[in-house]
Amino acid sequence: MWDGERDLDWATDVDLDKVVADIAVLSEVQNGPITRLAEEPGSPFQNWGEKEWQQLDKESLNWQLSQFMHGEQGALVATAKIVETVPWIDAKYYASTQVMDEARHVEVFAKYLDTKLEGNYPINVHLKHLLDDIINNSQWDMTYLGMQIMVEGLALAAFGYLHMMTSEPLLKQLLRYVMSDEARHVAFGVLTLEEHYQHLSLAEIQERQEFAFEAAVRMRDRFLQQEVWHRMGVTDIRPIVEARLGASEEEKQFQRMLFSKIVPNCRKLGLLDAGEGWLRTKFEEIDVIQFEHMESTDTEFADFALGSDDETSV
């Protein structure tokens, strides 16, 4: 196991302007609908200048890393519950090690936010409701599905994209270490649930399909970043939400990419085509089904292991 204090160089001087510049392409894709909205009469952005747009990029990064931290806090609580409720002793042993991983993730994200960025954001309402449902569900495998497959699967894709975009050495290494853990967590979830689902009835499988799709929609909606707009002084965010939902094909492709780890894992678990393909149809409706034939995490997790590339020596 890596150590968040010893293995990360917290003395690194982080140039926030450069970090934001690194991910300028990502910001342009995410905020493209907003840039177009700014050109319309009566837009809340018509008096914005370069300073406000640069601050928006900083707030968006702050918000994103804050939600990463809150997601890790939810994973910490959910995994502690799995230790208690999963029926197999080997799974209890594994989950106990994951509790330590999640605590370490919360620690490093919180420290980066507190010492390298400008504060942090509270948990997004969509993410909070999702985590509450996952943690409070009385069935252990639903907690497994919600956290190990859905939340951590999306996080793995989001971490990977940000890791690819940024050249800031501390953030890049932090993400690389966290990704090595998250891939292992998702892979173990796939292996555990694949065996368990073979013994469930069709009605029970359908319940899990519905739970997975509801989680997917909530995770998609949380990327509307309502909290950022309020902090930037925008009181009526309805035009922003409408603009984001009417995004261009390029912008929608970025949103879909976040499901690249979730869909193949659901296929591996047999959830896509059970019950006359209910979940397949739903994933087609939100246009993410094209990821189904990518590798499931249980077959690719070794690629994320520390030492599988040279970046861990940064």
Query: Average pLDDT in the 70-76 region?
Result: 95
**pLDDT tens-digit map of 281-308:** 999 998 899 999 988 888 877 788 887 5
**How many whole angstroms separate alpha carbon 135 and alpha carbon 149?**
14
d(CA 160, CA 158): 5
Beta carbons within 10 angstroms of residue 194's beta carbon: 15
- With a pLDDT cut of 90, the percent of the chain lying above it is 53
**Mean of per-residue pLDDT scores for the chain:** 86
Q: For 133-181, how does the pLDDT look when each residue is reduced to its tens digit (9 = 90+)?
A: 999 999 999 999 999 999 999 888 889 888 988 999 999 999 999 999 9
Angle at 236 between CA 230 and CA 241, to 5 degrees: 85
Least confident of 114-118, 268-272, 309-313: 309-313
The whole-number pLDDT of residue 313 equals: 40
Mean pLDDT computed over 70-95:
94
- In this prediction, residue 228 carries a pLDDT of 86
Give the CA dihedral 95, 96, 102, 104, nearest 10 degrees. Answer: -150
Answer whether residue 98 shows pLDDT above 90.
Answer: yes
Q: Is the pTM higher than 0.85?
A: yes
pLDDT tens readout for residues 47-65 = 788 888 888 888 888 999 9
pLDDT of residue 312: 46
* Angle 175-179-183 from CA coordinates, rounded to 5°: 170
CB of 91 closer than 8 Å to CB of 145? no
Which CATH number is correct for 16-313, 1.20.1260.10, 3.40.50.1010, 3.40.50.1240, 3.40.50.2000? Answer: 1.20.1260.10
